[in-house]
Amino acid sequence: MRIGSFAQQAGLTTRQVRYYSDKDLLPAMKSPNGYREYDPDQIPRAKRVHCLLAAGIPSEQLSRISDCLDSEGPIACKELQAAMRVQVDSLEQRIRQLETARDTLKRKIR
C-alpha cells in the first residue's frame, strides 16, 4: 500500500508516516520505483505510535522498545509500561505546576 493510502486509512498525514518510518517506528518496504510501501496490517501499529508520541513519550524511547509496539490490547511489554508510568508521573507533576501558576495568577487579578 502506498504512503498516501496508508496515511489516510490510519488517520495520519503522509509527513507523520514518513517521520515514523525515519525513526524506525514504522517499517516500510521500498518498491522497485523507490516508493515507500506499507502493509495494511501496520495500521494499528501506526495509530499506537501516534497515540504514544502524542502522550509525550519520546520517539527515541519508542525506537528502543519498538518490539512492544505490535502488541494489541492491554500493554504486556514491561518496558513500554515503564515508559508510560514515567510519562504519567511527568504529566502529573506538570499539572501540579500549572495549577500552582493558575492559582497565583488568580490571586493577582482579584
Provide the residue ranges of all domains of the chain, joining segments of one domain with +: 3-108
* DSSP helix/strand/coil, 29: strand
Residue 25 makes CB contacts below 8 A (sequence gap 6+) with 49, 59, 62, 63, 66, 69
* DSSP helix/strand/coil, 78: helix
Q: What class has domain 3-108?
A: mainly alpha
* Residues 68-105 pLDDT 10s: 887 766 666 888 888 899 999 999 999 999 999 999 99
* Residues 3-16 pLDDT 10s: 999 999 999 999 99
Q: What is the pTM of this model?
A: 0.80
